[in-house]
Amino acid sequence: MSTFNIPFNKPCLTGRELLYVAEAILRGHAAGDGSFTRKCQELLERELGVRRALLTTSCTHALEMAALLLRIQPGDEVIVPAFTFVSTVNAFVLRGATPVFSDIRPDTLNLDEKLLPDLITSRTRAIVPVHYAGVACEMDSIAATAGKYAIPVVEDNAHGLFARYKGRLLGTFGCLATQSFHETKNIICGEGGALLINDPELIERAEILREKGTNRSRFFRGQVDKYTWVDVGSSYLPSDLLAAYLFAQLESWQAVQETRKAIWTRYDAELSGWAREHRVCTPCTPPHCEQPYHMYYMLLPSLEARHRLIEHLKSRGMLSVFHYQPLHLSDMGRKFGGVEGQCPVTETVSDRLLRLPFFNDLTETEQGAVIQGVKDFPLSSS
């Protein structure tokens, strides 16, 4: 049997990255907010229909900006799913907030909107739904609950660029939303992110926070004759070299999505029969959600079965990975009162979820080998 060397992820180029990075260097503007940053932001604003898009150094930093913009303070509570990346929560904890962990839905693995009303208190200052794998949370219900108590919604849309809920693009529902361009995402620049701003009242302060607490953006637009320190802030803007890399990717976003759709669809077509036979769940995309083909995951019957499948694929030279550990059971989560059994769906999903290799340059042969590797796995003996 031939063995492969198939990574889980590979940062893939679309063609013009090196050209644009060279152009950015030769143009002599390597710092942030150069012409490539502007082009990326305009493209995101145009394609997504958001009021303002600001490139950031990561999705983590975009989330930190969201916490600052909402003036989160010690004593405030923020509702987050227990099944997410640490930054969704840490950005708010950094400002002194107490995370209130919500369990997730067993089908889409998104924050369970039915649990929200019971988690809201007089101290709730934000709800942060995460569109897992870019499949939308139930935004109608979340917006209705948040609206009833006038609580801002921040969408963590790290996975879901260009995905839709009932025809509407993700990132347009919250007063704020965040994107990631980390090298594991569909559209990448190594490390990068964006803050999407739908509430126009937050735009000016967002520019200030991102520019070290100064009104430098207004200065560059000729709106003030000198710039100065006006608020708290930090340095959240990426170099224009990274924006150049990102612009090449963003320009080709439809082609990237088509490629990924083909990979995802083949995984699903060839594995769903095997999965049904072996009590393995494959991803659920409700009919009113258009997904971005960010990842292909499976839910194995047990932790032990997942471990054995990872090892089985590894023995054939293929890297599959698990995802998020339950945040309420992490060392930090326990400091906020997290206990076993608090979020039962999160706890079982974390044990059983496995992600298959997924990147734009995955060849048909490689993908075929991964699929065969899964089908050859002796699951029934577990």
Ligand X SMILES: Cc1ncc(COP(=O)(O)O)c(C=O)c1O
**How many residues of this chain interact with ligand X, rule: CB under 6 A?**
13
Q: Should residue 333 be labelled a site residue for ligand X when binding is judged by CB under 6 A?
A: no
Q: Exposure of 242 by Cβ count < 10 A (0-12 exposed, 13-18 middle, 19+ buried)?
A: buried
Structure tokens at 367: 């993908």
What is the C-alpha to C-alpha distance for residues 367 and 356, in angstroms, rounded to an integer? 9
Q: How far is the CB of 297 from ligand X (least distance, A)?
A: 13
Q: Choose the binding region for ligand X from 57-65, 163-171, 242-250, 370-378 (rule: CB under 6 A).
A: 57-65
User: From residue 108 to residue 137, what is the string marking binding to ligand X with x (rule CB under 6 A)?
Assistant: ----------------------x-------
- Return the DSSP state at 91: H
Binding part of the chain for ligand X, among 56-64, 164-172, 253-261, 299-307 by CB under 6 A, reads: 56-64
Draw the binding track, 12-51, toward ligand X (x: CB under 6 A; -: no contact): ----------------------------------------
Tell me which residues in 142-171 interact with ligand X (CB under 6 A).
Answer: 156, 158
Least distance to ligand X, CB of residue 243, Å:
15
Does position 349 interact with ligand X (CB under 6 A)? The reply is no
CB of 181 to ligand X, least distance (A): 7
- Residue 229 contacts by C-beta under 8 Å, 6 or more apart in sequence? 212, 213, 214
Interface with ligand X, residue 180, by CB under 6 A: yes
Provide the token pair at 63. 């989330």
**Separation CA 197–CA 65 (nearest Å):** 11
Binds ligand X by CB under 6 A, chosen from 37, 60, 252, 367: 60
The single residue among 58, 108, 110, 124 that binds ligand X, judged by CB under 6 A, is 58
Stretch that binds ligand X, among 13-21, 84-92, 204-212, 218-226 (CB under 6 A): 84-92
- As measured in angstroms, the least distance from the Cβ of 233 to ligand X is 18
Beta carbon nearer to ligand X, 62 or 146: 62
* Residue 138, token pair as written in the block: 């139930």
Binding residue (CB under 6 A) for ligand X from 99, 129, 193, 338: 193
CA gap 54, 115 in Å, rounded: 32
The number of C-alpha atoms within 13 Å of 319 and in the hemisphere containing its C-beta is: 9
Whole-angstrom distance, CA of residue 200 vs CA of residue 69: 12
- How many angstroms separate the CA atoms of 21 and 207, rounded? 24
Residue 195 is inside which H or E element, if any?
strand 193-197
CA nearest neighbour of 168 among 294, 45, 288: 288
- The piece of 52-60, 163-171, 258-266, 310-318 that touches ligand X (CB under 6 A) is 52-60
For residue 224, report the phi and psi dihedrals to the nearest 5 degrees.
Answer: -135, 155
Dist. CA 58–CA 67, nearest whole Å: 14
Structural contact between residues 157 and 44, judged by C-beta atoms closer than 8 angstroms = no
- What would the x/- binding string for ligand X be over residues 205 to 244, using CB under 6 A? ----------------------------------------
Taking CB under 6 A as the binding criterion, the range among 34-42, 55-63, 243-251, 252-260 that sits at the site for ligand X is 55-63
Using the rule CB under 6 A, is 182 a contact of ligand X? yes
Sign, CA torsion 210/216/219/224: positive
Residue with tokens 């499976």: 298
Residue 88 binds ligand X (CB under 6 A): yes
Which residues of the chain form contacts with ligand X (CB under 6 A)? Answer: 58-60, 84-85, 87-88, 130, 156, 158, 180, 182, 193
